[in-house]
Structure formats: C-alpha cells, structure tokens
Structure 1
Amino acid sequence: MLLLGDIDIDGVRELLHGHGLCLEVVGEDCPIPGSYWGEPEAGLIGATVFARNDTPVHSLLHEACHLIVMPAERRDGVHTNATDSIAEEDATCYLQIVLADSLPDVGAVRLMADMDAWGYTFRLGATRAWFENDAAEALAWLNERGLA
C-alpha cells in the first residue's frame, strides 16, 4: 500500500490546491480529524483533507475527490462523511484514479491495485476492470459538471 510518506507531499499539496483544497498533515501520533474509516485513513472537514504519513494515498485522493465533486454549497459544511449518492461515490472513485496519474510517484495503475487491496468493490470484481469497462456513468457524471 502506497502511503503519503512514500511520495512527494508538495506535489499532493499542489494538486489539492489546484482544486481549492488544503492538505493538513498531522503528526505521527495524532488522531486524524474527520476520518470516516478511522486512522490511518484520511479525513475531511470543510475544504481541508487531513492525513498522516501513514495514510494510504488512495484514501487521501478519495477523500479529496469527494470534496472536488460535491457542490460548493455543501463543501463548507462537510465533516467526516461526504457521500451524497451512489453516482457521486462512483464519480469520486473515477476521479481519484484520473488524478493519481498527475502524481509522478503514484499513477493510476498503482492506485487501482491499492484500491483492490484495500477492499473497494465493483461489479466487475476489480477496480481496473470497472474503470476501463463499466465506469461510463461516472465519467458522464463528471463531464456534465465539467470535472473530467
């Protein structure tokens, strides 16, 4: 599992900043604010994604993408749980794979393998199979909102 501490954190900060988000890295022994799944999974409060060096990259990108896909009027009030619908969840999963390719030390293929290892579930049994063959609705959802 690729962890935040394994990659260029400044690159992640730049990526998130480009989408109007902040990354706050908390100390090794500190709780992660807004973590839905519990530590070491990423958390979110408002437009800030919280993580530690032991946070999986797929978790950080997933939570960030929840914030990116949600309407701006919901973003300020979000705390811990960001899911609004299955369509929004699917769009989040799709976008996190796309954004992984913009991080040189991550990439979509690695991220999808980590998503499978963590336990993401898709109808076709694997993240890559879903992304390549069954994600047209998620992509359309993102396109309708100018996010793809």
Structure 2
Amino acid sequence: MLRLADIDALAVDALLACHGLVLERVADGAPIPGSYWGEPEAGVIGNTVYARADTPVHSLLHESSHLIVLPRERRARVHTDASDSVAEEDATCYLQIVLADALPGVGRERLMQDMDAWGYSFRLGSTRAWFESDAEDARAWLAERGLLPSLSSP
C-alpha cells in the first residue's frame, strides 16, 4: 500500500492547493487530528488535511476529496466526519480515484488496488468494477457541480 512517504510531497501540496486545501504533516507517532478511522488514516478539520508519513495515499485522497466536494461554507465547519449522504460519499470515492492520476507514481490503477486491499466495498465486488460500470451517479453528481476534470472518464 502506498504511503505518503512513498510519493512526491510537492505534488501532493500542489494538488491540494489547487482545491484550496492545505496538507498538515503530522510527526511520526503523533496522533492525527480529525482522523475518522484512526491512525494512520488521514484526518480533516476545516480546509486542512492531516497525515503522517505512514498515512495511506488512498486515505489522504479520500479525505481530501471529502473536502473538495463540499461547498466552502460547509468545509469551514468540518471536523473528522465530512460526509452527510451516500451520494456525497460515492462522489468522494470517485473523485479520489480521478485525483490519483495527478500524483506521479500513483495513478488510478494503483489507487484502486490499494482501495480494495484496505477494504472499500462496492456492489460489484471491486473498486475497478464500480468505477467502470456502476458509478454513473457519482460521475453525474461531480459533473453537475463542476468538480470533474475532463480526463476522468473511465
């Protein structure tokens, strides 16, 4: 499983900055603020994503995507739990896969493998099957809000 320490830190900072987010690196062994799943999973508070070197990249992108899909006024109030609907959660999962292509050495293929290894569950049995065959609603939700880069088609 890819961890934050395994990828280009500047690329992560640039990707998050494009969406008005900041990555706050947490010291090794320190608690991760705003982590819903517990350490080493990423955390969110406001416009900040918290992660340690051992945080999985899929977690970093998932929590970042939660903030990206929120209207700015809701972002400011987020602490730990950023989702309030199934549609928003599905859009978050879809967006994290798309965003993986912006990180050198990650990409959607690797991210989907890591999502499966972590235990994301989808009706069709795998992240890839969901992304390619069952995510029309998530794609539409993101497109409706102008959050879907043109390169995101499966």
- What TM-score, normalized to structure 1? 0.99
Q: Which consecutive aligned stretches of 4+ in structure 1 deviate over 6 angstroms post-superposition?
A: none
| Paired amino acid for 1:123 | R
Aligned length: 148
- Report the 3-state secondary structure (helix = DSSP H, G, I; strand = E; otherwise coil) of the residue aligned with 2:50: strand
| Paired amino acid for 2:89 | E
Give the Å deviation of 1:14.
0.3
Counterpart Cα distance in 2 of 1:71 and 1:19? 11
Counterpart Cα distance in 2 of 1:91 and 1:97? 10
Counterpart Cα distance in 1 of 2:65 and 2:22? 12
Give 1:124's aligned residue: 124
Give 1:93's aligned residue: 93
Check if 1:44 corresponds to 2:30.
no
Give 1:147's aligned residue: 147
Deviations 1:89-142 (A, max 9, x none): 000000000000011110000000000000000000000000000000000000
- Report the 3-state secondary structure (helix = DSSP H, G, I; strand = E; otherwise coil) of the residue aligned with 2:59: helix
Give 1:74's aligned residue: 74
- Report the 3-state secondary structure (helix = DSSP H, G, I; strand = E; otherwise coil) of the residue aligned with 2:29: coil
Give 1:61's aligned residue: 61
- Report the 3-state secondary structure (helix = DSSP H, G, I; strand = E; otherwise coil) of the residue aligned with 1:124: coil
| Paired amino acid for 1:62 | H
| Paired amino acid for 2:45 | I
Give 1:8's aligned residue: 8
| Paired amino acid for 2:88 | E
Unaligned runs of 5+ in 1: none
Identity %: 72
Give the Å deviation of 1:73.
1.2
Counterpart Cα distance in 1 of 2:71 and 2:121? 25
Superposed CA RMSD in Å reads: 0.4
Counterpart Cα distance in 1 of 2:65 and 2:98? 10
| Paired amino acid for 1:79 | H
Give the Å deviation of 1:71.
1.3
Counterpart Cα distance in 2 of 1:86 and 1:53? 30
Give the Å deviation of 1:77.
0.6
Give 2:84's aligned residue: 84
